[in-house]
Amino acid sequence: MRTLREWMVRLIGTVIGRRSDRDLEQELQSHLELAEEEARRRGESPQQAAREARIRFGGVAQGMDAYRERRGWPWMEDLVYDIRHAVRALRRAPGFTAVAVITLALGIGANTAIFSIVDGVLLRPFAYPRPEQLMYLSTDGGAPFPVSVPEYLEFRQFATTFAGVGAFRLGEANLSAGDQPRRVRTASVDASLMKVLAVQPIDGRLFAEADTVVTDPPLPGASAVTVPLALVSYGLWQSAFGGRPLVGSTIDVDGRRLQVIGVMPRGVDLMDDRTDVWLPLGFTGAERQARNNHNLELIGRLKADVTVAAAHTELDVLIQNWRARTGITPGPGQAGHVFAPSGSARHVLLMTPLADQVLGRASRSIWVLQAAVALVLFIACANVANLLLARAETRRRDVAVLKALGASRGRLLRNAVVESVTLAIAGSALGIVLARAGVDALTRLFPLSLPRIGEVAIDVRVMLASLAVAVACGLVCGLAPLIHTRSDAIAERLKSTARGSTSTPGRRVRGALVSVETGLAVIVAIGAGLLLKTVHNLTAVDAGFDRSRLVTFSLRLPSASFDNLGRVRAYQRILEAVRGVPGVHSASGMTGLPLDRPTVVSQTEIADSVHPMARTAPLVYQRVLSDFVETIGLPIVQGRAFNATDAASSGGVAIVNETLAKVYWQGQNPVGQRLRRGGTAPWLTVIGVARDVKQAGVDQPVYPEIYVLIDQLATDTPTSALSISPTALHVVLRTTLPLGSLAPALTRAIGEINRQVPLAQLREMDEVFTDSIRRPRLLAQVLTVFAGLALVLAAIGTYGVLSYMVAERRREVGIRLALGAGRRRVLWQIMRYGLTLAGCGLIVGVAAALGVTRLVAALLFEVEPADPATLIAVFTLLAAVAVFACWLPAWRASRLDPNAVLRIE
């Protein structure tokens, strides 16, 4: 009650009706006068009386200070006063202010930009509610591998720790919107997945159970025919339909008319696949029985009170009992295929938090950037602290006077801190502008390098974080110069001349700052060096074929518009048309684009395998059209390439890669060997061995691969799954034409066959390659920018400290020169001081880097974290920069004219 009342009075006191400062001052003045009067009455002289009164009761100013503390919120008033004071002081020193603000803006801006990525990508990875409850489920096929339909349905039935489990398949489709067909990314999802993700459409509704009922497809193995419905992503709604009302209207997807039932909210995506169209997913009777057909991805949502550990425990138990619960007995073929925890039939369900699955190694890259940029900020802070230190030195007399006048140490400290925080906030304001430009540039230059990078924005959250960082920097920079003021003796300060030399602690702090920033710059530079070398090594990897002047685009001929053989003929006709385009030397097609293809393997029986373990092998199938070997420039090391006779004959032929030949035939002649997919398809005869071509990425191992000829499908009537012609094909062509002039000709060529088929993903093979290493490139390039920034800031810091030292010792240098000291000697002495500091930093930095770079080891390719060449290069570069930064001020000192210097004194 009492405190509340006092609080109210204070509040009112701050705002209205308070006694004016003048009033208070008068009261204190009258107090002193009364005291003096009494003293005089006792017979003291007026001077003595005044002195005595002040000693007894203190000065008016101090009384006022104490008085104000009680009235209202003095700290608020003081703060306003201090800020005004700081702004005025900073305005009086525009050069200092500009340098400090720009330095801080660079440091804070870089941090803000990277933090916006940390925040947008790592801290808020999904647009779903409670994303931490979402788990990604897969089987273990070396890498995460899809789940089969029966496995999914059983798991849904068994799992008790999950509130729900849903399934999906990602894919692509042709969308006809208006007159221009386009390629879109699709996600086929069941009703249960929509519940698991807990998203709500911004318009319309989601899929219900009834929407996922399917009819069996006309062709075995082809995808089931679902109810013709679709949901559209916010992005596609805006870009293809201009945001006009869409629910209830129909869209043309892969030649089928689908009714749009809803529009997804902005940012809702699946597995960072940039899903455009959501389709209903249902299962045919055959699919529900196909235990061995792994083609589903699963996401489950844990119940609210279930921990990840508890879910893992349940999963382990389920795997143990799966066989018993389903009543499936072990046996050959599909029937016995069931989850088992161990043994040769080991087959388990894996659970990973969805965020880990989607972000994967990207999160480490982002943290590395954040760490690097934090070091840059430290360097920026060190520089500003340095500047403030120098400024404090020049203001020592002012400070001493203020102290003598009764300013408390706390008050001076606050002044200094408010000044530096003001600087930092100005720096952060400018930094946010820089960060915005930086993030814009980053999303433009590396649009797909990081998950969800399109969602990254400098929002209020990020700005608040930036402001917090700025205040922290301000405190650090502001307090650093004050480290040594504790020992200041006021009288000492007053006596010293305006050109007094720096106190030893001041010089020591400054020297330490030079060492620290050099050390930090070394760490960032070594990190950047290692990543640059990684990118260099990745670029140098032999992809297995000649990718110069090679252009590729993607064709998709959906089953709704083409039957199985009709599609093969359509591909052949389109390729004929493409070969007819002037400037195109040759053209062919393949199902998997090298460096950008998922490693999908099919079990294949090998007739005379000498591999001790296996008669069947998981092989990567590359299905190609005629002229493939010639177009892509695939070196055939043994046997021969496909020829026209093969294309027209029905006797299945195949080319295998060297890895396959080495692993399964081990030195026997592969040509003439036979193999067949799944153990039931017609036999294929090997006619040649080709050099290994990288499949998933240049840093990935090459899997055993087999090339088969799609053209042969048109000549016989096989029944295996392999006999279904692919719905999508990557066309490759060798040409000297630039993309710009190719596009119209290619569009015309395709349009002649089918107007609904878009020309998609037209790009040079080199671009496919650079895209495949986009993340290391992003990391290397951004880190290099930061390393450059760190280097420049450290150099400026070193230069600044030495320049200050030279300015301070002008007189000394002048005298020494006048007394006959050689200019070289002066030069060397100053340089030695600077180089000692920088050298300490270099050595400590290299030592620290050896420890720190182990954290990036996972991001490196064929480079050791302690790569000597990189260490030496960085060391040399930084040493050179340090020498230059030291030489300049030292050279200036050695050029001093002793006469001029001494005359000024």
Measured CA to CA, the distance from residue 754 to residue 592 in angstroms comes to: 23
Q: Which of 14, 35, 145, 641 binds another protein (CB under 8 A)?
A: 35
DSSP 8-class letter at 869: H
Q: Which of 65, 273, 764, 767 binds another protein (CB under 8 A)?
A: 65
Q: For residue 340, what are the β-bridge partners? A: 347
Measured CA to CA, the distance from residue 481 to residue 477 in angstroms comes to: 7
* By CB under 8 A, residue 75 contacts another protein: no
Of the pair 35, 792, the CB lying nearest another protein is at: 35
* By CB under 8 A, residue 158 contacts another protein: no
Stretch of 61-69, 292-300, 364-372, 816-824 lying at the interface with another protein (CB under 8 A): 61-69
3-state secondary structure 101-128: HHHHHHHHHHHHHHHHHHHHHHHCCCCC
Stretch of 1-9, 638-646, 814-822, 870-878 lying at the interface with another protein (CB under 8 A): 1-9
Q: What share of the chain is helix, strand, coil (3-state, %, to 5)?
A: 55, 15, 30
Of the pair 328, 413, the CB lying nearest another protein is at: 413
* By CB under 8 A, residue 488 contacts another protein: no
Of the pair 72, 718, the CB lying nearest another protein is at: 72
Of the pair 65, 764, the CB lying nearest another protein is at: 65
Of the pair 70, 130, the CB lying nearest another protein is at: 70
By DSSP bridging, strand 277-280 and strand 180-189 are parallel
Task: Record the tokens describing residue 504, joined without a space.
Answer: 């030893």
CB of 68 to another protein, least distance (A): 9
CB of 29 to another protein, least distance (A): 9
Q: Yes or no: say if 531 and 783 are a contact pair by the CB < 8 Å rule.
A: yes
Measured CA to CA, the distance from residue 97 to residue 683 in angstroms comes to: 79
* By CB under 8 A, residue 738 contacts another protein: no
Of the pair 28, 197, the CB lying nearest another protein is at: 28
Measured CA to CA, the distance from residue 273 to residue 354 in angstroms comes to: 14
* By CB under 8 A, residue 33 contacts another protein: yes
Task: Record the tokens describing residue 473, joined without a space.
Answer: 């920097």
CB of 41 to another protein, least distance (A): 9
* By CB under 8 A, residue 51 contacts another protein: no
The closest of 810, 879, 807 to 843, measured between CA atoms, is 879
Q: Which of 67, 73, 158, 446 binds another protein (CB under 8 A)?
A: 67
* By CB under 8 A, residue 145 contacts another protein: no
Q: Yes or no: say if 147 and 137 are a contact pair by the CB < 8 Å rule.
A: yes
Q: Which of 239, 249, 313, 408 binds another protein (CB under 8 A)?
A: 408
- DSSP string for 509-578: HHHHHHHHHHHHHHHHHHHHHHHHHHHHHHHHS--SS--TTEEEEEEE--TTT--HHHHHHHHHHHHHHH
CB of 77 to another protein, least distance (A): 15
* By CB under 8 A, residue 74 contacts another protein: no
* By CB under 8 A, residue 30 contacts another protein: yes
Stretch of 5-13, 663-671, 731-739, 893-901 lying at the interface with another protein (CB under 8 A): 5-13
* By CB under 8 A, residue 404 contacts another protein: no
Measured CA to CA, the distance from residue 504 to residue 485 in angstroms comes to: 11
User: What is the footprint of another protein within residues 544-603 (CB under 8 A)?
Assistant: none
Stretch of 59-67, 181-189, 279-287, 441-449 lying at the interface with another protein (CB under 8 A): 59-67
Of the pair 2, 92, the CB lying nearest another protein is at: 2
Q: Which of 45, 46, 48, 69 binds another protein (CB under 8 A)?
A: 69
Measured CA to CA, the distance from residue 172 to residue 279 in angstroms comes to: 11
* By CB under 8 A, residue 9 contacts another protein: yes
- Rg of the chain over Cα atoms, rounded to whole angstroms, equals 37
- The alpha carbon dihedral of 543, 547, 552, 557 has a sign of negative
CB of 7 to another protein, least distance (A): 10
Q: Which of 28, 416, 710, 893 binds another protein (CB under 8 A)?
A: 28
Stretch of 65-73, 98-106, 190-198, 769-777 lying at the interface with another protein (CB under 8 A): 65-73
Q: Which of 406, 566, 598, 738 binds another protein (CB under 8 A)?
A: 406
* By CB under 8 A, residue 21 contacts another protein: no
Q: Which of 6, 77, 459, 897 binds another protein (CB under 8 A)?
A: 6
Q: Yes or no: say if 290 and 334 are a contact pair by the CB < 8 Å rule.
A: yes
In angstroms, the first-to-last Cα distance of the chain is: 67
Q: Which of 50, 52, 58, 228 binds another protein (CB under 8 A)?
A: 58
Measured CA to CA, the distance from residue 873 to residue 533 in angstroms comes to: 12
Q: Yes or no: say if 263 and 202 are a contact pair by the CB < 8 Å rule.
A: yes
User: What is the footprint of another protein within residues 103-122 (CB under 8 A)?
Assistant: none
Of the pair 153, 407, the CB lying nearest another protein is at: 407
Q: Yes or no: say if 646 and 712 are a contact pair by the CB < 8 Å rule.
A: yes
Measured CA to CA, the distance from residue 391 to residue 769 in angstroms comes to: 53
Q: Which of 56, 84, 346, 895 binds another protein (CB under 8 A)?
A: 56
* By CB under 8 A, residue 73 contacts another protein: no
CB of 488 to another protein, least distance (A): 16
Helices (H), 809-860: 810-818, 823-852
Q: Yes or no: say if 207 and 194 are a contact pair by the CB < 8 Å rule.
A: yes
Stretch of 7-15, 96-104, 111-119, 454-462 lying at the interface with another protein (CB under 8 A): 7-15
* By CB under 8 A, residue 70 contacts another protein: yes
CB of 818 to another protein, least distance (A): 48
For residue 524, give Cα distances in angstroms to 364, 385, 847: 16, 20, 13
Q: Which amino acid is at 371?
A: A
CB of 66 to another protein, least distance (A): 3
Of the pair 26, 249, the CB lying nearest another protein is at: 26
Q: Which of 39, 49, 60, 424 binds another protein (CB under 8 A)?
A: 60
Of the pair 288, 409, the CB lying nearest another protein is at: 409
* By CB under 8 A, residue 50 contacts another protein: no
**Could you tell me how many residues of this chain bind another protein (CB under 8 A)?**
32
Per-residue contact flags (x/-) with another protein for residues 299 to 328, judged by CB under 8 A:
------------------------------
For residue 787, give Cα distances in angstroms to 525, 794, 835, 870, 880: 5, 10, 20, 14, 15
**Burial class (CB within 10 angstroms; exposed 0-12, middle 13-18, buried 19+) of 396:** buried
* By CB under 8 A, residue 252 contacts another protein: no
* By CB under 8 A, residue 40 contacts another protein: no
CB of 28 to another protein, least distance (A): 5
Measured CA to CA, the distance from residue 313 to residue 11 in angstroms comes to: 58
Query: Tokens 């093979």 belong to which residue?
Result: 765
Of the pair 55, 819, the CB lying nearest another protein is at: 55
By DSSP bridging, strand 229-232 and strand 277-280 are antiparallel
* By CB under 8 A, residue 63 contacts another protein: yes
Of the pair 62, 292, the CB lying nearest another protein is at: 62
CB of 13 to another protein, least distance (A): 7
Q: Which helix (DSSP H) or strand (DSSP E) does residue 781 occupy?
A: helix 774-808
- The alpha carbon dihedral of 202, 203, 205, 211 has a sign of negative
Q: For residue 621, what are the β-bridge partners? A: 706
Residues in touch with another protein (CB under 8 A):
2, 5-6, 9-10, 13, 24, 26-28, 30-35, 37-38, 56-58, 60, 62-63, 65-67, 69-71, 406, 408
